[in-house]
Structure 1
Amino acid sequence: MYKHIALLVRREGTTHDEFRERWLEEHTPIARDIEGVVRYHTVVPTDPEHAEFDGIAELYFESLADLHDALRSPGSRDDDPTKAIAAKAREDMDDFLAVEKRPRYIGEEVVQRDETGGDTDGLYKHSAFLVRKPGMTHEAFREYWEHQHTPLARDIEGVVRYHTVYPSDPERAEFDGVAELYFETLEKLHDALGSPGSRDYDPTKEIAAKAREDVDNFLAVEERPRLIGREIVQKDETDAEGY
């Protein structure tokens, strides 16, 4: 399954609460009906004052061709969409988003662990947007992430679902990958990662601590945005267990 991830930043002069109301009540009903979208998630930060973004919007498509057809997005940022609803959603964003400040990412999601049956609605999610270390190629980064780090991360205490998202066009992508860890409660997330805000502190759980130590081997840690939030499934026309 391919997805388009938008990290949202509110317009200057707007409060987070005003942004959230405008996004969820007015924009989301448009965005979830964009042509080709089969699943649509919104992720609202649990601690907006410490969060690096005001929210995350995730649009899922059955194929990369369907995504490009709807959004005209060969890389990580979309061009002017030609589909009617997609064009309406793009125009609507200018009313409440600082568009130039919102990173975008297109990639293929791979489920590495699942104890939820595919139902992520209401779960708490730790999203990490990964940037490789200087001097490392994307290919070397992916090899290490996929084969060395992922077996650690998916076994972090309390994780009930874990995704890795690989960029469809690494040369144009704003990140080298996205890692998404799901927890049943915010308490379990904090207990594992020591994260009251959007960036983790020193985790005390054994596997979480080992995974945190390992990231220094392949990530430019200071350059990787993070967000902790609660995911709501706004639309689902998939076989959720496997997407």
Structure 2
Amino acid sequence: MYKHVALLVRKDGMSHDEFVDYWQNNHTPIARDIEGVTRYQTVLPTDPENAEFDGLAELYFDNLDDLHEALGSPGSRDYDPTKEVAAEARDDVDNFLDVQERPRVIGEEIIQKDETDGDTTDLYKHSAFLVRQDGMSHEEFVDYWQNNHTPIAREIEGVVRYATVLPTDPENAEFDGIAELYFEDKDALYDALGSEGSRDYDPDRGKAKEAREDVDNFLALEKRPRFIGQETVQKDES
């Protein structure tokens, strides 16, 4: 499936609570009915004061052309959708988002591990927005990530679902990919991957330690935003 992930930043002068209220109660009913959307999920930060973003909005489409028509392509941040609900959603984001500060990713999702049967509501998720090291091509990055790192990451203690997202247009993408690791327990996530306020965590055992050591082989960590939150599936026809 193809996926549009928006990293949301609230407008100046709006509190996080005001942002969440508007997003969940005003915008979400519009967004989940955008033409072509087969699944829509929102992710709220577990620790808003330390989170790098105010939330994630993730919309899935079966067809990449439908995604581009509804939400634009990686190279068209100023698109003007013509379909009714997509246009309404685009107009509404100006009411609560700082659009200029909202990174996004369009990519194809690959499920690497799933013990949830796709029901991710109330699960805790660590989303890492990956940037490759200097001197490494995107293709070299993807090869190392998928074939060397992923077999380690999906076995991190406590992970019940692990997905990777590869950009459909790497040349225009803001990141080289997304790694999404789900846990049933927030403390297990923090223990394995650190909390919002601990970018320099140092796990001391098992696959979490092995994965942390391996990221130095292919990631530019200082350029890698991440987001820890609790997910709610707002719509699922997938």
Shorter-chain TM range is over 0.9
Residue of structure 2 in register with 1:89 after alignment:
89
1:63 equivalent in alignment to 2:63: yes
Q: TM-score, with normalisation over the residues of structure 1?
A: 0.94
> Which stretch of structure 1 is more off in the superposition, 202-211 or 83-92?
202-211
Change (3 A) 1:122 1:154: same
Cα offset for 1:77?
3.7
> Which stretch of structure 1 is more off in the superposition, 90-99 or 192-201?
192-201
Aligned length: 238
- Distance, in Å, in 2 between the alignment partners of 1:77 and 1:129 is 19
Question: 1:125-173 deviations in whole A, cap 9, x for unaligned?
Answer: 0000000001110000001001000001000000000000000000000
Change (3 A) 1:177 1:76: farther
Residue of structure 2 in register with 1:241 after alignment:
none
Cα offset for 1:176?
0.2
Contact (CA 8 Å) 1:192, 1:205: kept in 2 or not?
no
Change (3 A) 1:212 1:77: farther
**How do 1:25-174 and structure 2 match up within 5 A?**
25-73=25-73, 75=75, 77=77, 79-174=79-174
Residue of structure 2 in register with 1:237 after alignment:
237
Cα offset for 1:95?
0.8
Change (3 A) 1:56 1:162: same
Percent sequence identity over aligned pairs: 70
- Distance, in Å, in 2 between the alignment partners of 1:163 and 1:5 is 13
Q: In structure 1, what residue type is equivalent to 2:125?
A: K
Contact (CA 8 Å) 1:108, 1:167: kept in 2 or not?
yes
Cα offset for 1:196?
4.8
- Distance, in Å, in 1 between the alignment partners of 2:15 and 2:100 is 18
Contact (CA 8 Å) 1:71, 1:82: kept in 2 or not?
no
> Which stretch of structure 1 is more off in the superposition, 162-171 or 76-85?
76-85
- Distance, in Å, in 1 between the alignment partners of 2:228 and 2:46 is 6
- Distance, in Å, in 2 between the alignment partners of 1:105 and 1:230 is 19
Q: In structure 2, what residue type is equivalent to 1:110?
A: I
- Distance, in Å, in 2 between the alignment partners of 1:95 and 1:20 is 12
Question: 1:45-90 deviations in whole A, cap 9, x for unaligned?
Answer: 0000000000000000012122123223254746111111111111
Contact (CA 8 Å) 1:76, 1:104: kept in 2 or not?
no
Q: TM-score, with normalisation over the residues of structure 2?
A: 0.96
**Structure 1 spans left out of the alignment, 5+ residues:** 239-243
Contact (CA 8 Å) 2:105, 2:173: kept in 1 or not?
yes
